[in-house]
Amino acid sequence: MTRFAAPIAESIWDMKYRFKKSDGTAIDKTVEDSWRRIARSLATVEKDPEHWEEVFFSALEDFKFLPAGRITAGAGTERSVTMFNCFVMGTIPDSMGGIFDMLKEAALTMQQGGGIGYDFSTIRPRGADVKGVAADASGPLSFMDVWDAMCRTIMSAGSRRGAMMATMRCDHPDVEDFITAKSDSARLRMFNLSVLVTDVFMEAVKADGSWDLQFDGKVYHTVKARDLWNKIMRATYDYAEPGVIFIDRINQANNLSYCEQIAATNPCGEQPLPPYGACLLGSINLARLVKDPFEKDAALDDEALTELVATAVRMMDNVVDASRFPLEQQAQEALAKRRIGLGVTGLADALLMVGQRYGSDEAAAQTERWLHAIARAAYRASVQLAKEKGAFPLFDADAFLASGTMKAMDEDVRAEIAEHGIRNALLTSIAPTGTISLYAGNVSSGIEPVFAYAYTRKVLQKDGSRTEEEVVDYAVQMWREKFGDKDLPDYFVNAQTLAPLEHVKMQAAAQKWVDSSISKTINCPEDISFEGFKDVYMEAFETGCKGCTTYRPNDVTGSVLSVSETSDKAPEADQGADVIYMADPLDRPQTLEGMTYKLKWPDSEHAIYLTVNDIMVGDRRMPFEVFINSKNMEHFAWTVALTRMISAVFRRGGDVSFVVEELKAVFDPRGGAWIQGKYIPSILAAIGGVLERHMVSIGVIEAEGLGLKSDPQAQVVNLDQPRGPACPSCGQFDMRMVEGCMICASCGHSKCSG
């Protein structure tokens, strides 16, 4: 019997969380070994480690408590990596030396696997005077380009590239350039961008007032607040960035407002942090805690939830002591405040199991009750830890209890804190859980709705073949096991069928009892009007959200996997949840047969040699790869590019004769050449002719000039069915925007660090 609810869960564990030697030999033989490794590691700081190891193991068992990936992969391995997911770096000084000191710190942090956030508002604007050198400042965006280049060169732990968040205040003189930076598709690819929006600015937007853009007391420009807001909205409408962070709300609510000021977040936005702030993450799997799912009396097990939360808080508090830190300042900050970020996953599945429609008023109220219960249990558990181990060093009872969040806390909990203190300054956060949710059996991610009831995943086998497997949402699978082929109830909804304001409603309901913030994507239809789109952000502000991230599929952001529904079909009848692929890349055998052709272009000193290797597909021989070589270094760059592009097309299989047609159509404005009695318009056309002759020789094309098609892709891709962007890790077209992060539903690859 396996503990895994789905094959994809075991694959994720094996690829990402299973402890292995450097040569790939597995040390964790089973997932129980992984749970034991984590439990034992986090119990070592306890006075009775054997007792707590068993308690921790029980919490991890059956995926009830899911520590974030860095803890799951790193605990007990003795590897030099941090188990903290989130960092905000130190305040960037407005000096060249200080800026590059910060760049070095960022590199060291990403090297150990941390995702980082930076506020670039502290750098003087472009064109400002630089005293002493008679020059103008280049501005914060120029230095962001340097950070971006650095990030591309740093491979973080677990072979994942670093992720970064850049923020800028809404009153910085360069904010308009910041807003439009991602309109250049090649710029700042390693950054997520968010504008720090203040309450005063939002009031100016609503009043259509003026707005000063200033730095260090000097006003550089005055604009209309509403025009600036529309510019932010238009950029995120078209390019999905920048996000919006309601920074005043974050600082007012912060339990530590008496001793820190926040101006940045981690890459996915769920952790607003002070300079050198660090936070670790973990999630309660609500889908595992529902009693009698889909029955009339289905309900969350309150007693089990309270007990599990208390254990999770203790485990995460222990991580503060057990983890390494890239920088000493980060260690000091973490130990002084002992911040943790306990969240949830499987919320949408749990709602389905108790008969609630995600996005409804009832589901929002249920979400608020569940998150209240978690917050209450977490704070009480932290009080008990304070009685046992001491409060966090910077605890000040009066100031702590006067913060915005604590004013709303239950009076009995406030009284306990006043009497005994509290171990952790902040306790709750809802982080991206895409990968660990797949690991837990494809439960719904975080507080997101179910993305798709099912989809097809193609799996590479050891013999090189590919098989297909259905990946089914955890709640849907449970329904099938219980009721067979019975239609899903009408309260089963998904991310694409929900109205954007229903997403906002659920985020706002959860935010009331989350002392940090929430990583969530509000899915918007491509045809949403610009005014309707702006309403989403204004509603997020008015209903108490700390930030807002949307995703509207379009030609720039890319289409996403969608669930197509019509009014006369029940959800169970959906056929659009499968991924629609172009032909998958063929796997390369150890040896291939091929031929090499010599091409001599007139007036060229050196010949070009083309090697075309073939592969057997069924009983047909098909071109698989091309190598183009020449001693003429003028040809080097384009021959390498052509080699890679043509080979990439060939490896997709199918009808590839269009490559010949496209190449033969290229003409050189300087004139072509006569070769063997034929006029060839360009050297590229000559290469196309060589490929054509090869295809004729192996039977792909009947004869020269015959059998070419103008659009062979039209037979491979069903253009009526949107698909996700290709995953850079596994190649499948199943990248989706979930919780503010692009994640592959087939292999768990995430574009965010964490």
Residue 446 near residue 367, CB atoms below 8 Å: no
> What is the rounded CA–CA span in Å between residue 615 and residue 588?
8
Cis peptide before 275 (omega within 30 of 0): no
> What is the rounded CA–CA span in Å between residue 675 and residue 689?
11
Half-sphere exposure of residue 395, counting CA atoms within 13 Å on the CB side? 21
Residue 125 near residue 715, CB atoms below 8 Å: no
Alpha helices in 1-139 (DSSP H): 7-12, 31-43, 49-60, 69-74, 96-111
Contacts of 123 (CB under 8 A, 6+ apart): 92, 94, 99, 137, 139, 140, 143
Closest to 64 (Cα-Cα) out of 339, 317, 306, 364: 306
Amino acid identity at 579 = V
Q: Which residue in this structure is represented by tokens 């995926």?
A: 63
Structure tokens at 470: 């259905």
Residue 739 near residue 268, CB atoms below 8 Å: yes
Question: For residue 287, with 0-12 CB atoms within 10 Å meaning exposed, 13-18 middle and 19 or more buried, which class applies?
Answer: buried
> What is the rounded CA–CA span in Å between residue 740 and residue 431?
10
Pairing verdict, β 454-460 and 466-472: antiparallel
Catalytic residues: 266, 268, 270
> What is the rounded CA–CA span in Å between residue 139 and residue 206?
30
> What is the rounded CA–CA span in Å between residue 328 and residue 32?
34
> What is the rounded CA–CA span in Å between residue 354 and residue 349?
9
> What is the rounded CA–CA span in Å between residue 395 and residue 418?
10
First vs last Cα of the chain: how many Å apart?
Answer: 31
621 - beta bridge partners? 616
